[in-house]
């Protein structure tokens, strides 16, 4: 039994990573009110079924709550961190329209995302040497094909500073 549920593609990493709604840092809570029956709630139902996993994957710290059959018409409500509440009416809309609308009003724009990606790349440059927590390597001796660490195998005499100093002294 490898596949679970009606549309197991929703559980694949590829599908989740394809989600393109990344909310601004100010959005803290998302609430979806929809009905389980009815033509008008269909778009909201599909949105919850298909798009919410993608959103939660991309916004791990966003709290998402779903309420069923509480109001006659479906809507989304976003709670920002300065107390502002944003109401989005989704009655009769298609789930694609809903996700586009939400992305437009509260999602990070393309340029912001690209700027962030660039900043992250700069911070995590593979050419940096440093503690294992932040960089890939600590010393050039860890790389294949370079001089091995003198701590494990002693360097040949000609490469030691002691010998070189001796030679320099004896030559003068």
Residues that bind another protein (CB under 8 A): 73, 86-89, 91-92, 101, 104-106
Residue with smaller CB distance to another protein, 88 or 135: 88
Cα separation, 22 vs 112, whole angstroms:
11
- State the nearest-atom distance from the C-beta of 125 to another protein, in Å: 16
Residue with smaller CB distance to another protein, 10 or 28: 28
Residue with smaller CB distance to another protein, 10 or 101: 101
Cα separation, 25 vs 23, whole angstroms:
6
Residue with smaller CB distance to another protein, 48 or 90: 90
- State the nearest-atom distance from the C-beta of 105 to another protein, in Å: 4
CA nearest to 73, candidates 115, 27, 120, 40: 40
Residue with smaller CB distance to another protein, 104 or 157: 104
Q: Mark out the alpha helices in the chain (DSSP H runs).
A: 13-17, 42-46, 52-58, 95-106, 110-123, 161-171
Given its phi and psi angles, is residue 5 left (phi above 0), alpha (psi -120 to 50 degrees) or beta? left
Residue 107 — φ and ψ, nearest 5°?
Answer: -90, 160
Indicate the DSSP class of residue 139.
-
Cα separation, 90 vs 54, whole angstroms:
19
- State the nearest-atom distance from the C-beta of 67 to another protein, in Å: 19
- State the nearest-atom distance from the C-beta of 163 to another protein, in Å: 23
- State the nearest-atom distance from the C-beta of 64 to another protein, in Å: 19
């Amino acid at each position: 039994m490898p596949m679970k549920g009606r549309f197991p593609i929703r559980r694949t990493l590829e599908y989740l990573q394809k989600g393109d709604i990344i909310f601004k840092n100010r959005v803290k809570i998302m609430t979806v009110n929809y009905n389980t029956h009815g033509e008008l709630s269909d778009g909201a139902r599909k949105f919850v079924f298909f798009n919410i996993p993608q959103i939660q994957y991309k916004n791990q710290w966003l709290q998402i709550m779903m309420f069923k059959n509480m109001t006659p018409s479906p809507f989304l409500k976003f709670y920002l961190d300065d107390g502002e509440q944003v109401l989005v009416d989704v009655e009769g809309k298609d789930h694609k329209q809903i996700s586009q609308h939400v992305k437009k009003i509260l999602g990070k724009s393309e340029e912001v995302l690209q700027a962030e990606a660039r900043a992250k790349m700069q911070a995590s440059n593979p050419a940096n040497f440093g503690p294992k927590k932040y960089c890939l390597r600590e010393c050039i001796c860890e790389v294949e094909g370079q001089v091995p660490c003198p701590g494990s195998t002693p360097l040949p005499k000609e490469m030691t500073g002691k010998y070189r100093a001796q030679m320099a002294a004896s030559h003068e």
